[in-house]
Amino acid sequence: MKSNANLLILNVGQLITCASDGKPKRGAAMRDVGLIENGGVAVIDGNIAAFGKSADVEDSFCSDHTLDAQGKVVAPGFVDPHTHIVFAGDRLDEFELKIEGADYLEILEKGGGIISTVEKTRNASLDELVDTAVARLDKMLACGTTTAEIKTGYGLNTETELKMLEVIAKLDLVHPIDIVPTLLAAHAFPPEFREDRNAYVDLICGEILPKAWDWYVNSHFRAKKTPFYADVFCEKNAFDLQQTKTVLETAKALWFGLKAHCDEFTNLGASRLSIEHGATSIDHLDAISDEEIDMLAASDTVGVITPTVNFNLGSAQFADARRLIDSGCAVALSTDYNPGSAPCPSQPTVMAIACRYQKLQPAEAFNAATINAAFAIGQGQRTGSIEEGKRADMVIFETDDYRQIAYEFGGNLTGKIIKRGEVRNLKL
Ligand code: NIG
Ligand code: FE
C-alpha cells in the first residue's frame, strides 16, 4: 500500500541533496553535492518524508499534489547565515564616494558609513523597518533563500537595538523565510560614546545584552527553539580585541550563541579568541593567519566568507577560501546583505563570485551556501539539505545542470520555491 504524501516532486533531472552526516562538510566532502539522477521527493506535513529515485518514490507514495520537475535541478533552499537587512535609508552617496577612492574604514571614522545608517534607523518607525526589510526578504526568496540570519546593529542604544529585535521577530512571523536573530550591538561606536568607548562596552554588557536575552526568553524564537546569537565587529575603528573579549564573555555567560566579524580588513586576533570561546561561526576571514586557519580546522566553528564585500569594494583581494577548505575548515558562504559593504540579496551571485575569485568548485559553493550555512546558524539539523525529517525547503531551478547556478550570473535561474512543503512560483 502506498503512503499518502502532501506533495510529490518527480522526474528531477538532478536532485542535489547536500546530505551530510549530521555535521558541516569539510575537505573532499565539500565536492560531493549528493547528486541523485532521476530523483524524487515526498513531503508530508511540511517535512521531507522520503527522497531517492523518482520511480522508487512513486512506488511508495501517492498524492493529490504532484509536481513534474521535467528533468530540472531540485536543490535545498539556500541558507544565508549573515545579513544586516533591517535598516532605514540607503548609502548611495557613499557608493559614489567609494568609486572616487574613499576608504570604507575612513568613511566610518568620519561618522559616515554604519553611523549614517544608525541615525536613520533610530528615527524610523517599526512598521517602516518591517516593510523595507520584507521587500529585501522577498528579493532573497526570489533568489532561492529559504532561511536567513538577521543582525541588529544599526541601533547602538538599548531602545533601538530592542526595536530591531522586534522587527526581526515580526519578519519571522510574516515572511516565509525562516529567520535566526543575532544581536550586534557591538557593531560600531555610536557618536555619543566616541570619547569614551569603554562606556559603550559597559552599556552593551550591563544593559543591552541582558535586556535582549530577557526579550528572547519571552519571544516566539525561544518557543520554537531557534537560537539567539551575539556578534561583535572586531576591527580598527570598531571593537578592539579586549572589548571583543568582554562582549563575547558577557554574552556567553547569558547563554547567547556566539559569532564574530573577524579579520575583515585587519587581523586583531579575533579569530583565535572566538574559536577559543566556542563561537558557532567566525565571519569574513580575509586577514586570518595560518595558525588560526589550523585552529579553525580543528574546531566545530564554521568559517563564513563574504566575497560580496570584496567585490563591492572593487578589490582584487579575497579571503583565501581555497586554503580554508583544503586545510579542513567547514566553510559557508553568505551575502552579508547590508547597505554599505554588500548590497546583495543573492546567494547564487555570491557563489558566482566565490567560484571565480576564491577558486571554489560549483559543488563546494553549493554545500557552502546550503548545509554548511545552516550549521553556521545552528540550523544544520533542520534545513540546508534534502534529508528525511528536515524541513521541505527546496528550489526547482530552470536548468538541468546544477553547475549552471554558479556559472551564470546577473540573471536568476530560480523557478519554483518549496517552503515548508508549500509551492510558490517566483519567476521574476
Ligand atoms: O559585515 N563589517 C561590519 N558590518 C558590515 C557592514 C555594515 C555596513 O557597512 O553598514 C559587514 O561588512
Ligand atoms: Fe556583517
Q: What is the CATH number of the domain that holds 114?
A: 3.20.20.140
Please say whether the beta carbons of 362 and 405 come within 8 A: yes
List the grid coordinates of 42.
515526498
Return the pLDDT at 427. 52
- Residues 67 and 206 reside in one and the same domain: no
CA 15 to chain CA mean position, Å: 23
List the grid coordinates of 234.
572586531
- Residues 158 and 55 reside in one and the same domain: no
Query: What is the length of the chain?
Result: 428
Q: Ligand 1 atom 8: the closest Cα is on which residue?
A: 340
Binding site membership of 181 for ligand 1 (Cβ less than 6 Å):
no
Cβ contacts of residue 21 below 8 Å, gap of 6+? none
Q: Where are the alpha helices (DSSP H) in 72-125?
A: 92-99, 104-109, 114-123
- Residues 114 and 168 reside in one and the same domain: yes
Binding site membership of 189 for ligand 1 (Cβ less than 6 Å):
no
Return the pLDDT at 110. 78
Residue located via cell numbers 541533496? 17
- Residues 56 and 84 reside in one and the same domain: no
- Residues 58 and 158 reside in one and the same domain: no
Pairing of strands 78-80, 145-151: parallel
Dump pLDDT digits (tens) for 95-112.
998 899 888 888 877 778
Task: In the chain, count H helices and then E strands.
Answer: 18, 18
Ligand nearest to the CA of 104: 1
Structural domains of the chain, count: 2
- Residues 36 and 167 reside in one and the same domain: no
Dump pLDDT digits (tens) for 131-147.
999 999 999 999 999 99
Atom of ligand 1 nearest to the CA of 117: 10
Cβ contacts of residue 255 below 8 Å, gap of 6+? 213
Return the pLDDT at 90. 95
Q: Return averaged pLDDT per consecutive 10 residues of the chain, 428 residues in all.
A: 97 98 97 98 98 98 97 98 98 91 82 91 98 98 98 98 98 98 98 96 98 98 98 96 98 98 97 98 98 98 98 95 98 98 98 98 98 99 98 98 98 97 78
Please say whether the beta carbons of 289 and 268 come within 8 A: no
- Residues 54 and 143 reside in one and the same domain: no
- Residues 50 and 106 reside in one and the same domain: no
Q: Please, what is the average pLDDT of the chain? A: 97
Closest CA to 229 of 271, 181, 265: 181
Return the pLDDT at 103. 86
Cβ contacts of residue 118 below 8 Å, gap of 6+? 154, 155, 156, 160, 188, 190
Q: How far is CA 36 from CA 15, 43, 54, 60, in A?
A: 5, 17, 9, 17
Q: Ligand 1 atom 5: the closest Cα is on which residue?
A: 341
Residues with CB under 5 A from ligand 2 (ion): 336
Dump pLDDT digits (tens) for 314-362.
999 999 999 999 999 999 999 999 999 999 999 999 999 999 999 999 9
CATH number at residue 63: 2.30.40.10
Please say whether the beta carbons of 380 and 343 come within 8 A: no
- Residues 121 and 147 reside in one and the same domain: yes
Domain extent, residue 31, equals: 3-77+384-425
Please say whether the beta carbons of 398 and 415 come within 8 A: yes
Q: Ligand 1 atom 12: the closest Cα is on which residue?
A: 341
- Residues 335 and 399 reside in one and the same domain: no
List the grid coordinates of 33.
553535492
Regarding pTM above 0.95, the answer is yes
Please say whether the beta carbons of 314 and 353 come within 8 A: no
- Residues 246 and 346 reside in one and the same domain: yes
Binding site membership of 113 for ligand 1 (Cβ less than 6 Å):
yes
Cβ contacts of residue 112 below 8 Å, gap of 6+? 94
- Residues 312 and 407 reside in one and the same domain: no
